[in-house]
Structure 1
Amino acid sequence: MKLIKTLALSVFASGVAMTAAMTPAAYASGSYYGAIAVDRSTGETYVAIDVWGGAYGAQFAALKQCGERSSCAAIQSFSQCGAVAYSPGAQNWTWGAGSDLQAAEGQALHYTDSILKREACNTY
């Protein structure tokens, strides 16, 4: 019984230490991610921002909004800003990421006929 109490206390203490370690400096280090998912059959876009822990978590959050459709894909993850565009002529999705919206959009607008579909930035 003493071992269980000791383990429980250690887990609790670790959680407190992790919470205390999440200072504004940790937020600025790029630990928060965002992602944009696209339903390629409808053109609908889905965004997740400020997801703690990494690009895969952000992609999962964006895909979750898209639902169970097999035509959904997470096509851009970002630590600061991201954008996606569609080119009707090339029938292709393009994307970009950058330190601000202008940089992300500049990368996403790859073709001359590209149409910006979605952009987003993390708030941390």
Structure 2
Amino acid sequence: MIVDPEAENRLGRAFMALADPVRRGIIARLSRGPATVNELAEPFDISKQAVSKHIQVLEQAGLVTRTRDAQRRPVHLDAAALESLTAWIDKYRLIHEQRFRRLDALLSTIAPNTNKEEEK
């Protein structure tokens, strides 16, 4: 398996960024559309400066971007970055689902024999 170090670094930064509940809340809010720092800070009991620092972490992880709209600087979710995380998770989910299906098939062949022995 060939590993792209830069892709691995991006993946690591993204998962570390999402480890924080405030940042996950920001991502959840941005999934409904762009928002300013003030709008993102509303539901949290932390300062706007702290929210700005959380946004910087999300920016460094490549999960959000900021644009300038006159006096506003809305924050936007980068859906493609989230999609790459989902693809990575799905790859391993599918591998494990296949393993569980094989285990279920094996157990179904063993279970009838076990039940017959118990009946004796």
TM range (shorter): under 0.3
Instruction: Find the structure with the greater CA-based Rg.
Output: 2
Pick the structure with more strand per residue: 1
Tell me which protein shows more helix as a share of its residues.
2
The normalised TM-score by structure 2 is 0.26
Q: TM-score, normalised by structure 1?
A: 0.25
